[in-house]
């Protein structure tokens, strides 16, 4: 990713109680959204400007049911996790790679 994207929101994940119904609803409400399924519990979306996804509620460790998971971009993930800890935050899940590629980690401000 480009350096100008550093410290920006890169992706957002939201819960869904019924994934098929969620996709149908947003496809009708927000014309132009496209979806890509990744198994029965996850679908990514692309609105033409931002990407994100919906996951079956209660199936992502470290995420409260109903709470969105916001993904921030930074080119030095390990360094940022050190800052999270230094500032009193919690690293819920260390660096990992998803099937689509890229390194991720899950943290909380408190």
- The per-residue pLDDT string of the chain (110 residues; one tens digit each, 9 = 90 and over) reads 456 666 778 888 888 888 898 898 888 888 888 899 998 889 999 988 888 999 887 544 555 556 787 888 888 889 989 999 999 999 988 999 877 778 888 888 87
Task: Please report the DSSP string for the chain in residue order.
Answer: --GGGTTEEEEEEEEESSHHHHHHHHHHHSTT-EEEE-STTEEEEE-SS-EEEEEETT-STTS-TT--EEEEE-S-HHHHHHHHHHTT-EEEEEEEE-TT--EEEEEE--
C-alpha distances in Å from residue 99, one per residue of 18, 27, 82: 23, 25, 25
- What are the residue ranges spanned by the domains of the chain? 1-61, 76-110
Go through the chain and tell me how many residues it has: 110
- Would the pTM count as exceeding 0.85? no
Among all chains, which residue has been given the structure tokens 């109903």?
Answer: 66
For the domain 1-61, what is the CATH superfamily, name and number? Answer: 2,3-Dihydroxybiphenyl 1,2-Dioxygenase, domain 1 (3.10.180.10)
């Amino acid at each position: 990713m480009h350096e100008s994207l550093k410290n920006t929101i890169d992706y957002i994940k939201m819960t869904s109680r019924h994934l098929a119904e969620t996709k149908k609803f947003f496809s009708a409400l927000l014309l132009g959204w496209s979806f890509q399924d990744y198994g029965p519990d996850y679908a990514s979306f692309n609105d033409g400007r931002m990407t994100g996804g919906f996951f079956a509620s209660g199936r992502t460790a470290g995420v409260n049911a109903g709470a969105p998971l916001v993904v921030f971009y930074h080119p030095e993930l390990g360094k940022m996790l050190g800052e999270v800890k230094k500032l009193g935050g919690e690293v819920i899940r260390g660096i990992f790679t998803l099937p689509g590629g890229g390194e991720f980690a899950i943290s909380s401000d408190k």
